[in-house]
């Protein structure tokens, strides 16, 4: 594992680059920069290392770390679109970031998802340009030959579409839940084809996903593994919270320049300097928070918080987009007996196999045209032509996704054993449940993340700090176009009910648990959706690339440089201008890989 450094030594080191956030993107960036031996690179991570912790490493324990010591414990503001509910927003406070807490799904969005970024004027961010960076992060382990037929584990040849020597191990699980064999057949029965090439630019169809697991050790593979054998010029300080990016003007005139950061470590404050650049990789929640705390953002937000405005940037913290889940609960036969947990752990330790290697891997992505009747699809398409909240280019891209000929995965379906619905309480201890998750991929709702005003209940009239969580307001099903999201989820819920009543999946499902069989009308189903929607932990867009409209539409340019500040970039999921139809981690690694490459290119160091 990486050799860590103490705070005093870190502050006294002359860095070329300082990376704020040792998470999914941040460690990818830092490790690639440190491959140039003449550079000195520092990483500041607020969390601890979780190396060797079973709750991080064991695949089937995924989710156990949520809400624990490796979690930021963020919460949203009360959401009117969810009946006033407040949702937990788990994010990784750990070396490795959220890649240490997630469910390890490894997939990519559609080719059109990334080409849309380029269409907005962000040169170099289309599918063809990003594919080498996807591959650069990956080390794909082909499955045993029998998996192709027994578990629908199909893929393109590794040398054409999957990376072979990257730091993140990706593979098919070595064991599968007993229900997985029924998944493909149920979708095939209703006319949905299996997609053996789901990583090659189209994820539409039903398929078995690969996961970020090293099959040789049967353990999670995550961002901290970029730094298992770090060079001497890479310095990592954990439990260090960055409170401000230090911005200065030469002679008090001209543009602002980032010269370093102020951070706290065990109650003491330090300053560290960066001769070349500061890179924010603090994620979609904390990268905009740090920009605002440093004086970059909207005048009204900073003024209300008592923060001196240095660089006006109207889109900092805006454009928040998030995948959302409705966890439907069919009620299956007895498929898993928790009493054998101890035996499963013993088998895992002994053989690195068995139930503790099983992860959710039954996936399907479908366009709305597959879910909604023609007349209702036409109504949705008509509404999508009236997107006043978006600029003309974004509005055009979003409305085209309702075309009958568009094969884009607007809703994801995931099947897994167990109860995934935090709002549902089982009738008795003897009941067994499975969950069919439907996940909205292209939200029309737009929210925001901003620092709180200094008149807030926890500020005592003082400006907010990095120790306080910002105000997270996703605006689920709300705002100018939020009703479109609710209608898409309604059609997704109806399709989920259809799948659960289709053989062979129907054979293991005696009946529905949530929503119950009493929920029949569209009105009742909408109410159930509002009452049960939760986050999918995929926030994006709060420091988006501005494209052709630049600062009027975003926070960073296509080189990920913050508008109006020299020597400062943002490299993480927050730079995505439009959401993608995929779980995020593979894309965030690719953003980190590409971001590092651009830094080296701009510095004239690429290829050294």
Active site members = 538, 583
What ranges in 209-298 are assigned the alpha helix state H? 283-293
Residue 346 to residue 341: CA distance in whole angstroms: 9
Alpha carbons 144 and 256: distance in angstroms, whole number: 56
Residue 542, judged by CB atoms within 10 A of its CB (0-12, 13-18, 19+), counts as buried
Is residue 295 left, alpha or beta, with left meaning phi > 0 and alpha meaning psi from -120 to 50? left
What is the DSSP-derived secondary structure letter of residue 528?
H
Map 40-56 to HEC letters: CEEEECCCECCCCCHHH
Which residues, other chains included, contact 151 with Cβ-Cβ below 8 Å and sequence gap of 6+? 143, 172, 176, 180, 181, 208
595's CB contacts (< 8 A; 6+ apart) are 25, 29, 279, 560, 569, 571
CA–CA gap between residue 225 and residue 100 (Å, rounded): 10
CA atoms within 13 A on the CB side of 113: 26
Q: What is the DSSP string of 260-274?
A: EEEEEETTEEEEEEE
Strand-pairing partners, residue 349, are none
Instruction: Take residue 63 and report the two structure tokens written for it.
Output: 């989710």
SS3 488: helix
188: exposed, middle or buried (C-beta count within 10 Å: 0-12, 13-18, 19+)?
middle
DSSP state of 77: P
331 a known binding residue?
A: no
Cβ neighbours of 518 (radius 10 Å): 7
Long-range CB contacts for residues 147-152, cutoff 8 Å, separation at least 24: 147/172, 150/181, 151/176, 151/180, 151/181, 151/208, 152/184, 152/194, 152/207, 152/208
Q: Residues 433, 439, 29, 468: what is their CA dihedral angle, to the nearest 10 degrees?
A: -80
C-alpha distances (whole Å) from 539 to each of 45, 219, 446 are 20, 26, 11
- Report helix, strand and coil shares of the chain as percent, to nearest 5: 30, 25, 45
The answer to whether residues 568 and 258 touch, using CB atoms and an 8 Å cutoff, is yes
Enter the tokens of residue 387: 């997107």
Binding residue numbers for FAD: 242, 537-538
């Amino acid at each position: 594992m990486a050799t860590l450094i103490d705070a005093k030594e870190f502050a006294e080191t002359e860095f070329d680059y300082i990376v704020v956030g040792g998470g999914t993107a941040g460690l990818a960036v830092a490790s690639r920069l440190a491959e140039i031996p003449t550079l000195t690179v520092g990483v500041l991570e607020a969390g601890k290392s979780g190396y060797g912790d079973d709750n991080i490493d064991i695949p089937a324990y995924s989710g156990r770390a949520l809400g624990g010591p490796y979690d930021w414990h963020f919460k949203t503001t009360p959401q009117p679109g969810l009946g006033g509910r407040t949702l937990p927003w788990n994010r990784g406070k750990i070396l490795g970031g959220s890649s240490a807490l997630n469910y390890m799904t490894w997939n990519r969005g559609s080719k059109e998802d990334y080409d849309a970024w380029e269409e907005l004027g962000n040169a170099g961010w289309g599918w063809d340009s990003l594919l080498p960076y996807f591959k650069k992060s990956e080390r794909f382990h082909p499955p045993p030959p029998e998996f192709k037929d027994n578990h629908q584990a199909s893929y393109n040849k590794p040398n054409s579409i999957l990376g072979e020597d990257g730091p993140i191990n990706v593979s098919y699980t070595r064991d599968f839940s007993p229900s997985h064999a029924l998944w493909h057949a149920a979708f095939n029965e209703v006319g949905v084809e299996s997609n053996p090439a789901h990583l090659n630019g189209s994820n539409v169809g039903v398929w078995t996903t690969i996961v970020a697991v090293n099959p040789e050790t049967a353990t999670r593979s995550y961002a901290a593994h970029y730094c298992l054998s770090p060079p001497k010029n890479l310095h990592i300080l954990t439990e260090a919270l960055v409170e401000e990016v230090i911005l200065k003007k030469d002679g008090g005139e001209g543009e602002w320049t980032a010269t370093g950061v102020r951070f706290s470590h065990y109650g003491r404050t330090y300053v560290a300097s960066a001769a070349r650049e500061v890179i924010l990789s603090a994620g979609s929640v904390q990268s905009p928070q740090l920009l605002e705390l440093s004086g970059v953002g909207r005048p009204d937000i900073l003024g209300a918080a008592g923060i001196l405005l240095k660089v006006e940037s109207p889109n900092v913290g805006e454009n928040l987009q998030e995948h959302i889940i409705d966890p439907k609960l069919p009620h299956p036969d007895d498929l898993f007996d928790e009493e054998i947990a101890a035996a499963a752990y013993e088998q895992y330790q002994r053989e690195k196999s068995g139930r503790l290697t099983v992860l959710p891997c039954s996936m399907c992505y479908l366009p709305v045209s597959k879910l909604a009747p023609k007349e209702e699809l036409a109504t949705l398409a008509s509404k999508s032509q009236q997107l006043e909240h978006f600029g003309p280019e974004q509005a055009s891209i979003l409305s085209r996704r309702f075309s009958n000929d568009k094969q884009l995965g607007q809703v994801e379906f995931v099947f897994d054993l167990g109860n995934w619905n935090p709002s549902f309480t089982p009738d008795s201890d003897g009941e067994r449940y499975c969950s069919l998750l439907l996940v909205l991929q292209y939200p029309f709702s737009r929210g925001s993340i901003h620092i709180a005003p200094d008149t807030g209940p926890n500020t005592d009239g003082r400006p907010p700090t990095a120790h306080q969580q910002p105000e997270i307001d996703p605006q689920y099903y709300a705002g100018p176009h939020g009703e479109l999201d609710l209608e898409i989820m309604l059609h997704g819920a109806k399709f989920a009910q259809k799948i659960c009543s289709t053989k062979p999946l129907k054979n293991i499902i005696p009946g529905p648990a949530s929503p119950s069989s009493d929920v029949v009308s569209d009105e009742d189903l909408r109410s159930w959706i509002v009452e049960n929607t939760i986050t999918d932990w995929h926030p994006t867009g709060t420091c988006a690339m501005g494209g052709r409209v630049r600062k009027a539409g975003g926070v960073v340019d296509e080189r990920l440089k913050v508008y109006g500040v020299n020597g400062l970039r943002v490299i993480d999921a927050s730079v995505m201008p439009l959401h993608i139809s995929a779980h995020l981690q593979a894309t965030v690694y690719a953003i980190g890989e590409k971001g590092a490459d651009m830094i080296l290119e701009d510095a004239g160091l690429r290829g050294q």
